[in-house]
Structure formats: C-alpha cells, structure tokens
Structure 1
C-alpha cells in the first residue's frame, strides 16, 4: 500500500533479531526496486575522479542521494539490535553486506538447511481432514523456502508432488486429472 505521498509503503518489514531473514531480504529487494535503489545497494556508489565532467559529477551526486535513501530505508527496517550493527556505516552497500554476513549464514549452514527442507518436502503428505487449499499453501511455502536456498523446483514438480501426496479420498480426482491433462502444462 502506498502512503499519501506515494513514496513509501504504508508499512515496512522490520528485521527483528535474525528471524526470517530470507523473507525479509525478499521484501527489501522489492522495496529497493520500487524506490529505484537496488543497484546502489548491490554495487555501491563509484567515486568520480577530480577530472570528472559536470555531467559525471551530477550523476555521482544523484547516486549518493540514492545511496542515502537506501541506507535510510535499511535503518527503518531493522530493530535496535540490528541497527547497532550498521549504525556506523556510511553506505547502503556496507549495511546490507553486514546484515547478510550476520544473518544469512555460511554455505555449509545453507546446505544443511536445504537438506532439512528437502527431507520435509519428501515426507510432506496431506492430512486426512486438511483442505486442499491449505495443503497447497503448505507445499508452496516449503518449495519457496527451498528456492530461497538455491533449489530448482519446476511448477511441474510441484504439481506432481501435490497429486501424489493428496489424501486417499482424492484418488479418483487425481486419476481423472492425470488421464485428462498434460501435467507439463499445469502450473502451481
């Protein structure tokens, strides 16, 4: 939702501790994109040399404004504990990198988390009294988490997982879908 001035969303996501860092990052990337500062956060601002043209100096000044805007957004979207980690940095890129190092974990930890998610995915079954929509939401939530750790899962794989893990009361529907549809064109 946009605020009355159209510049910022009415509510911003706040990173509290390190909980749900991946989801917070995804939301922040969208906000940075909306505010046209995503490149600044990723790549930083390049300094211009003393012999720069007026156009280059103006472009650098604009980039520095965007950097301040991005840093302001980051400051607004972290709790006090995370703010203390980034309070002395002067660029959005530095702040973002500090938060990533503090919360994203190393590659080994990501691999362990992905293995745990894969196991949950393999064992996932629809509960006997569960509504199909709720089960589908559980599957999508889990697959989105797996994707955030680098797993490649196609829509077809998700559809196939749902069809083979529905409760037995849906067996006749699953057979009808498999017989009448090309599963390669169904999407999740």
Structure 2
C-alpha cells in the first residue's frame, strides 16, 4: 500500500514507489545527512569488510568481529543504519531490487542505475530535459501556479541528474514563456528589474498578483456583457445605461471598436435631437432605441460566435501539441530503454569473453602441468 511519509516525521525517510526518482533522491540525501555525519559519507565511499593477514606473505582474510577496531565497528554500524534507512524508504517492489546488495553504497548505486541509467543514458535524459525546458510555454488557460509547477519539475530533474539550471536562467525562461495576455507585465518587469539577481519566488508572486487582478477585471466585464445580453422590455430601456454598456463593450472587443463608438454617437445624437425638437414623439424615439438595441445584440452574437470558434481552434491546437509532446516522450523513453538493454547485453558479452579467455588460459596452464608430470613420472 502506498505511503506518504515525506513530512510525517524528521525520523522517517521519504517514501519512494518508483515515481519521481530525482525528487526522492534529493530528499533522501538530505534525510541521511540529517541523521548522522557518517551515514551519507559511508554511501559515498562504501563500506569494506575488515581483513587481516596471518603472515606478511599470506593473502588477506576476513577479520573476526571480535578483532574489529572501534572505527571499524562504527563504520559497519553506519552502513547497516544506511541500508535499513533505504529499506524503510522503499515500496515492496523497489525494496526487492536491493535485497541482495551487500552494502548501502551498492544499494544506492543500483537504484541510481535503475532509475537514471548509466552515464550515456543520463546524458540523453538530460539533453531531453534541457530541450523540454527551452520549448516550454505557458498556455492562455493555464494558471501561474500550474506553469510554475511544470517548470520546476523539469529543473528539479536536471538537478537530480547532476546539471542544475541556474535561477536567473529559470527567471528569464519564465518571463519569455508567458502568453500574450501577460506581455505588459513582462515588459514592465524586464525594464524595472535586474533579471540576473531577480528571484524566482518574487517573480511568481508578482505574476500571481497580476493574474488575480486580471481575472477580477475579466469577471466584471463578463457581468457587464451578460447584463447587456439580457432580454429587456424596450419601453423600459434606459438610454444612459445603454450608452455606458455599449462604451464598456467597446473596451473589451477591439475588433468592433469603431462600430460601438458609432452606436454611442448615434444614441447621443438622437437624445440631443429629442431635447431640441419637441415634434419628435416618444414612440419614434422608442423605435430608434429598439433598432440600436437589436443591432447591438446581433453584433454581440457574432462576436461570441467568433470567440467560440477561436477557443475551439486553440483547444484543438493545444490537444495536438500535448499529444505530440507525449509521443516524443514515449519515443525517447523507449529509445533509452533499448539503448540501456543493448549496453547491458554488451557488458554481459564482454564478461563472457573475459571468462572464456580466463578458462582458456587456465586450460593451457593445466595442460603444461600435465605434460610436465608425464615427463617426470617415468623418471
């Protein structure tokens, strides 16, 4: 059963079930370093079983535990604690990988090779992540928090593979990846701030504030437009409200700015003519208002239709881009897996070749010894 104990206790190692290895690796290193000074160093250098020589010319043999020095006992205890910490942090599936590893260093390296690959695979993964970082953009319908999370996820993986991306590069990437609706804020920050020293947290905070104000403004405009769209009794239609709403609409719909201004001007002219010319009846004025109101409704309907078409196209474009990105990641993953398999097979083949050469050499040596024995036997 999955467990999430990352923040449950400082004495509990972060849980790992095979997902997001780069993040777990950083957290596990911090955990080991927080326990004892030697826990992480014993993983880095590795523990070696103490040995001794019975004579100066004899080969080393394992030293009995009763003869271990205090330092040797301490190193062994640290290695055992480090191994146990790894066992406690892993899921059943991941724990089985390191069951037969004799030391904490061997366990750590096996997990690292399994989830990061060898140097060549790591280099390929890093190249793919850097490319993904460079191509990242924020969608119009995406929040600042969501984009920030995606960006940090990629940079954390780069850091886990040993190639961290500097903060000023992340800040500049964040600004350049913003959608057109953030252009004014982007320009203001670039002119006012030194991007080489500007922190990512401060940038994200400013962007979230701007996003909040922008959404509030969009909501107010939406309420104004929805009020204009309501079916109203023409006899109750208020001239001043119509003029204000039409003017407000012109601010939100740049493609129809001239038409809206014309409508407002026409309405104002009709109003002034009514006040100056007593011969115009109220019925004629009402008819004029009705015509203007219907024309505005038609214009709004066309605008909304174009908005829907644009949104549909944007959605389709986003879907295609996401599908393409997913396929690229899938292909890259399969390619890396095949490369890793080929390298493993090559290593196994080389090991077999070395074994054959060793056996051949041993065979030649035995044959020579046998011939020598045959020559000595008659004598």
1:67 aligned onto 2:79: yes
Gaps in structure 2 of 5+ consecutive residues:
1-6, 54-67, 201-379
Other-structure match for 2:20? 20
Q: 1:110 offset after TM fit, Å? A: 1.7
Match of 1:161 in 2: 173
CA distance in 2, matches of 1:151, 1:97: 18
- Per-residue deviation at 1:48? 5.4
Which structure would you say has the larger RCO, counting Cα contacts within 8 Å and 6 or more residues apart?
A: 1
CA offsets, 1:83-124, max 9 Å, x none? 333223332122222222333202222222222222222221
Structure showing greater Rg: 2
TM-score where L is the length of structure 2 = 0.43
Q: Which runs of 5+ in 1 are unaligned?
A: none
Aligned to 1:39: 41
Matching of residues 1-188 of structure 1 within 5 Å: 1=7, 3=9, 8-9=11-12, 12-16=13-17, 18-36=18-36, 37-45=39-47, 57-188=69-200
Deviation for aligned residue 1:144? 1.7
The whole-number CA distance in structure 2 between the counterparts of 1:38 and 1:65 is 13
Q: What number of residue pairs does the alignment pair up?
A: 178
Please say if residues 48 and 57 of structure 1, whose CA atoms lie closer than 8 Å, have aligned partners that are also in contact: no
Residues 46, 60 of structure 1: 8 Å contact kept: no
CA RMSD of aligned residues (A): 2.4
CA distance in 2, matches of 1:137, 1:83: 29
CA shift at 1:82, angstroms? 3.0
Counterpart of 2:86 in 1: which secondary structure? helix
